[in-house]
Amino acid sequence: MGLYLVNYCYIIIIVLVLGKEVRSQSLKNGYYSASCPRAESIVRSTVESHFDSDPTISPGLLRLHFHDCFVQGCDGSVLIKGKKAEQTALANGGLRGFEVIDDAKAQLELECPGVVSCADILALAARDAVDLSSGPSWRVPTGRKDGRISLASEASNLPSPFDSVAVQKQKFEAKGLDAHDLVTLLGAHTIGQTDCLFFRYRLYNYTVTGNSDPTISPSFLTQLKTLCPPNGDPSKRVALDIGSPSKFDVSFFKNLRDGNGILESDQRLWSDSETNDVVRKYASTIRGLLGFRFDKEFGQAMVKMSSIEVKTDVDGEVRKVCSKINY
């Protein structure tokens, strides 16, 4: 769909990432090993329970984490409810997975009150969601604190399905993520879904003459028109990777290579020389090492993304309830 070290001393480091100042607190593997030893296993079992009931919760949790990190950093601010909170932003429409985070938080508050942040729960849940979808697993550095600010007005710069590659690069670079991270993280769309509303214009009214987007392969165009007729339900859900919609794999990149990308922002990755090289690498059996390269690099990109503008005790807290600040 988007993407730094210290320890308990809560040192604030100012680093320059692509000319932009980004504040980062160090994170640590096993941060809760002493204060809440079962923290990660509780999150895992909670995600697994919800996944067993509804496997589509996996892309929901991934998107929730992504949207959290791109606004105010990875601080759980997207979880806060309110009339002007991030959840109400147009770009955050359809966000899912809040009940999973709330469930895990309730269990953790019984186990070790006031210890595990909602931001960390979300980062762990996103990892577990990928793993449960036959994707990779990775160690998630923890130690984030929860933010106290959540404003819909600050969600206006979230990546959009209508963005050009240049705009996508700009938005990712603003968060310290490069073009390689961009392609790798968008690979999460291998288990994603979207509404007909966000791509139907490519099928019927892409130009003033009403033609279809020429980058869509003819056979796939017919398939998409069947799924999303011109006067059909704009909210109908369609898998972004029709070949293997519930399996986290490299099929998504092969689709882009073959002109079978659903979102224009995804398909355009094939047209840009810099992003094309990464797509080719993942789509290739040899260069992609049978999918192992993407698995490894996706985990690395997720760790990088989940370190964006991490809060410390100075400007954060550990919320008792994820949907509202403590005071």
Instruction: Concatenate the DSSP letters of all residues of 39-67 into one string.
Output: HHHHHHHHHHHHHHH-TTHHHHHHHHHHH
The position carrying tokens 């503008």 is 309
- The tokens describing 319, both together, are 């919320």
159 is in an annotated binding site: yes
Name the nearest CA neighbour of 129 among 59, 42, 228: 59
The position carrying tokens 């932003």 is 89
**Residue pLDDT, tens place only, 84-108:** 999 999 999 999 999 999 999 999 9
190 is in an annotated binding site: yes
Contact predicate 160/178, CB 8 Å: no
- The tokens describing 241, both together, are 């990777």
CA distance 260 to 254: 8
* Amino acid at residue number 241: D
Entry field: residues in the chain:
327
For 23, phi and psi rounded to 5 degrees? -90, 135
297 is in an annotated binding site: no
Task: Name all contacts of 211-216 with Cβ < 8 Å and 24+ positions apart.
Answer: 213/264, 213/267, 215/259, 215/261, 215/267, 215/268, 215/270, 215/271, 216/259, 216/260, 216/261, 216/267
Name the nearest CA neighbour of 145 among 74, 82, 81: 74
CA distance 149 to 80: 8
* Residue 22: per-residue pLDDT: 38
For the chain, the straight-line distance linking the first and the last C-alpha, in angstroms and rounded, comes to 33
- The tokens describing 160, both together, are 């959009």
For 293, phi and psi rounded to 5 degrees? -65, -45
CA distance 300 to 98: 25
50 is in an annotated binding site: no
Q: Which residues of the chain have pLDDT under 50?
A: 1-24
* Residue 286: per-residue pLDDT: 85
CA distance 268 to 261: 9
* Residue 23: per-residue pLDDT: 39
CA distance 110 to 198: 42
Burial (CB count within 10 angstroms: exposed 0-12, middle 13-18, buried 19+), residue 139 = exposed
75 is in an annotated binding site: yes
Catalytic residue annotation: 67
273 is in an annotated binding site: no
309 is in an annotated binding site: no
Beta bridge partners, 20, equal 17
* Residue 18: per-residue pLDDT: 34
Name the nearest CA neighbour of 107 among 184, 41, 153: 41
* Residue 73: per-residue pLDDT: 97
- The tokens describing 222, both together, are 């017919």
pTM over 0.85: yes
- The tokens describing 306, both together, are 């989940």
